[in-house]
C-alpha cells in the first residue's frame, strides 16, 4: 500500500520526467535573479548566547496538510508573513506544493514581497530543475529531503543550490540520514519529527538525533512543535531554530504565537 510519501514523490517525479525545459537555460535565468537573502545568517542573528533558551523561529505558511486537510480558510500569504515578521520570526517557510498542500509559487512570491525576511521554498525537490525554479520564483533557500534523494542527487542538488546563491535546508529523520547529510557537506540540517511514511509525529526524535550533530552546523527542529515547553527542550538539546507551521497557522494570533516560541518557558 502506497504511503503519503510514496504518493507525493511519485507525483513530483512524474512531473520531473516530462519536464522538457533546458536546465542550462533555467540555471542561467536563476543566476540573473537578484541576490538571495541570507537564510542561515538570519537564523544565527536570532540566536542567543550559548546556554540561553531563546531560539530562532522559521515560521511556515501552510494552507493544508494531507493528513489534516485545510488548516486556514482564506489564508493570505502576504498578511501572514507580515504577522510572522512582527512577531520576531527569523525566516519564512512557504509550502509551494499545490496537489497535496494547496500551496503555489504565487504564495511564496506574495510572502517574500511582503517582508524583509529570507524565505524557504518548502517542497519536494526531486530534480535540478526544482532547485533552479526555487531561485527563479524568488526563494532564498531550498529544501532537500534526504529520504527522497540518492547520495548523488543530494550532493549535486546541494552544490547547485550553492552555485545559485541558495541556502539548502537538508532534512533528516534519523541518525543514518544525518550521516548522509553531513557527508554531502550540508551546513543547515533540519530534523523532521514527522514520519514521512505514516505522517505521525515523534516529539522526542529531534532530541535523540541531536547528539549526532558535528560542530558548526546550523541545527533546525521541525514538526510537532506546539508551544514554549517544546522549544525549551529543543534549545537545551542544542537546536538553533525551530520550524513551525500548523501551530502558528491555526493559532488565531500568529504574531503572538511566534513571540511565545521566541521566549520559551525556562
The residue among 194 and 253 whose pLDDT is bigger is 253
The DSSP secondary-structure symbol of 194 reads B
User: What pLDDT digit, counting tens, does each position of 103-138 carry?
Assistant: 999 999 999 999 999 999 999 999 999 999 999 999
Answer yes or no: is pLDDT of 20 > 90.
no
Mean pLDDT of 52-63: 87
User: What pLDDT digit, counting tens, does each position of 131-159 carry?
Assistant: 999 999 999 999 999 999 999 999 999 99
Give the model's pLDDT for residue 68.
80
37 three-state secondary structure: coil
Q: Is the overall model pTM greater than 0.85, yes or no? A: yes
The DSSP secondary-structure symbol of 90 reads S
Mean of the per-residue pLDDT values for the chain? 91
Q: What percent of the chain has pLDDT over 70?
A: 95
pLDDT band at 181 (very low <50, low <70, confident <90, very high): very high
The dihedral formed by the CA atoms of 178, 52, 245 and 167, expressed in degrees to the nearest 10: -50
What's CA 99's distance to the chain center, in Å?
A: 18
Lowest mean pLDDT of 83-97, 139-153, 178-192, 197-211, name the range.
197-211
Mean pLDDT of 32-41: 94
Alpha-helical (H) ranges within 18-71 are 23-31, 39-45
Cite the active site residues: 60, 62, 122, 171, 192, 222-223
Q: What percent of the chain has pLDDT over 90?
A: 74
Lowest mean pLDDT of 25-29, 116-120, 224-228, name the range.
224-228
* Residue 115 phi, psi (nearest 5): -135, 175
User: What pLDDT digit, counting tens, does each position of 60-105 carry?
Assistant: 999 988 778 788 878 999 999 999 999 999 999 999 999 989 999 9
What is the spatial distance between Cα 193 and Cα 253, in angstroms, rounded to a whole number? Answer: 24
CATH superfamily assigned to domain 4-262: Aldolase class I (3.20.20.70)
Mean pLDDT of 9-19: 87
- Every domain of the chain and the residues it spans: 4-262
The residue among 193 and 3 whose pLDDT is bigger is 193
Amino acid at each position: 500500500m502506497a504511503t503519503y510519501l510514496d504518493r507525493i514523490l511519485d507525483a513530483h517525479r512524474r512531473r520531473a520526467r516530462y519536464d522538457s525545459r533546458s536546465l542550462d537555460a533555467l540555471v542561467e535565468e536563476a543566476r540573473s535573479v537578484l541576490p538571495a537573502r541570507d537564510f542561515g545568517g538570519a537564523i544565527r542573528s536570532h540566536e542567543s548566547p550559548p546556554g540561553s533558551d531563546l531560539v530562532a523561529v522559521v515560521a511556515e505558511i501552510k494552507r493544508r496538510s494531507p493528513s489534516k486537510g485545510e488548516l486556514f480558510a482564506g489564508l493570505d500569504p502576504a498578511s501572514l508573513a507580515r504577522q510572522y515578521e512582527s512577531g520576531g520570526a527569523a525566516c519564512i517557510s512557504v509550502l509551494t506544493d499545490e496537489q497535496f498542500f494547496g500551496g503555489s509559487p504565487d504564495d511564496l512570491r506574495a510572502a517574500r514581497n511582503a517582508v524583509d525576511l529570507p524565505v524557504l521554498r518548502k517542497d519536494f525537490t526531486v530534480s535540478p530543475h526544482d532547485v533552479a525554479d526555487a531561485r527563479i520564483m524568488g526563494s532564498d533557500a531550498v529544501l532537500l529531503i534526504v529520504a527522497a534523494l540518492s547520495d548523488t542527487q543530494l550532493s549535486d542538488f546541494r552544490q547547485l543550490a550553492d552555485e545559485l546563491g541558495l541556502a539548502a535546508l537538508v532534512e533528516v529523520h534519523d541518525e543514518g540520514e544525518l550521516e548522509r547529510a553531513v557527508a554531502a557537506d550540508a551546513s543547515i540540517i533540519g530534523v523532521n519529527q514527522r514520519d514521512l511514511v505514516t505522517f505521525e509525529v515523534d516529539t522526542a526524535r529531534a532530541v535523540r538525533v541531536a547528539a549526532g550533530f558535528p560542530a558548526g552546523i546550523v541545527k533546525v527542529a521541525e514538526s510537532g512543535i506546539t508551544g514554549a515547553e517544546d522549544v525549551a527542550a529543543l534549545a537545551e538539546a542544542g537546536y538553533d531554530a525551530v520550524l513551525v507551521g500548523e501551530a502558528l497557522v491555526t493559532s488565531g494570533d500568529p504574531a503572538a504565537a511566534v513571540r511565545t516560541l521566541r521566549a520559551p518557558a525556562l
